[in-house]
Amino acid sequence: MYVDMLRIREAEERLADMVATGEVRCPTHLYTGQEAVAVGVCKALRDDDYIFGNHRSHGHYLAKGGDLRQLIAEILGRRTGCSKGRGGSMHLVAPEIGLMGTSAMVGSGIPLAVGSAMAFTMQGTQRVAVAFFGDGATEEGVFYESLNLAALRRFPVILVCENNLYSSHMHIKDRRPADNIPEIVRAHSIPAVRVDGNNILEVYQAAVDAVRNARQGKGPAFIECRTYRWRGHVGPNFDLEKGLRSKEELEAWMARCPIKSFQSELMSKGLLTQSEANKLRAEAVKEVDDAIAWARESPMPTEAEVTHNVFTSGQRSVDG
């Protein structure tokens, strides 16, 4: 888990630099600061379980087992990307690892996860589906429709709300009369817990419990992970100049870095030394460097291929 968080952090920070220099040209929403959520949840899953992400899903892709080189290539628009260079940062697809898609439409992954869980139930499997989404998605109508159906049919779906306090640029206190998302979920007869999203062990244990119950036919679960994105809503900046969040707030959350906290935990138990931590970070940096170099050398799609992997292959009739 520690290594997976390091890989995500190093990849995101390098991508931030590449966005700043203009090398990355697609809209890019960075996951820095929220690494414990994706890793903690995905470590509780099997390879054949499904996950659905959102516009900020580099961490979900990597935590579920995605190829780092293919992620960078996708963001650079290369043919070797996980979405063949057609999706960019916000539209990642990797069915071979169970990532069935990410989308910039807020809350759109929630009903897809519920539908997948319905399919698993109909097939008689013990697979589960997970939807990752932000606190802003809980203000979409489809969220409540999905809660109702999942609870009614007891589908094996885990709903993971990464509550980083901001929906785009608006703080939760300016959007909701009360900071009570788990309470609202419980009103739909779904177990809901709130955990420290920067504590990977808390996230992991909550995910283990939810997944175990779902596999046993006990129905859906909701996990609210309180966390914080270091970078702005989109791009490499910190959004301090917009006057929407304070420097003090950002620094307080950065001091609670999920990676540093877990590193301290491991060291206090004698499971990690400083020299080992330095070595692991150096290996993560090298892996990211190699992935970027590979992606840069990968070819762009040709003009003749512009609709490949977009439309189904084969002849189309005149009337469609």
- Tens digits of per-residue pLDDT, 273-292? 999 999 999 999 999 999 99
Residue 314 forms part of a structural domain? no
Encoded amino acid at 34, one letter: Q
Residue 312 forms part of a structural domain? no
Residue 316 forms part of a structural domain? no
Percent with pLDDT over 90 in the chain: 88
d(CA 100, CA 112): 9
pLDDT per residue as tens digits for the range 62-115: 999 999 999 999 999 999 999 999 999 999 999 999 999 999 999 999 999 999
Give the other-Cβ count within 10 Å of 267's Cβ: 14
What CATH number should be reported for the domain holding residue 166? 3.40.50.970
Residue 117 forms part of a structural domain? yes
pLDDT per residue as tens digits for the range 215-258: 999 999 999 999 999 999 999 998 887 788 899 999 999 999 99
Residue 274 forms part of a structural domain? yes
Residue 304 forms part of a structural domain? no
Work out how many domains the chain is built from and give that number: 1
The domain of 44 spans 2-298
Rounded to two decimals, the pTM is: 0.93
* Residue-level length of the chain: 320
Encoded amino acid at 262, one letter: F
Instruction: Tell me the pLDDT band of 144, cut-offs 50, 70 and 90.
Output: very high
The reported pLDDT for the residue numbered 318 is: 43
d(CA 295, CA 75): 9
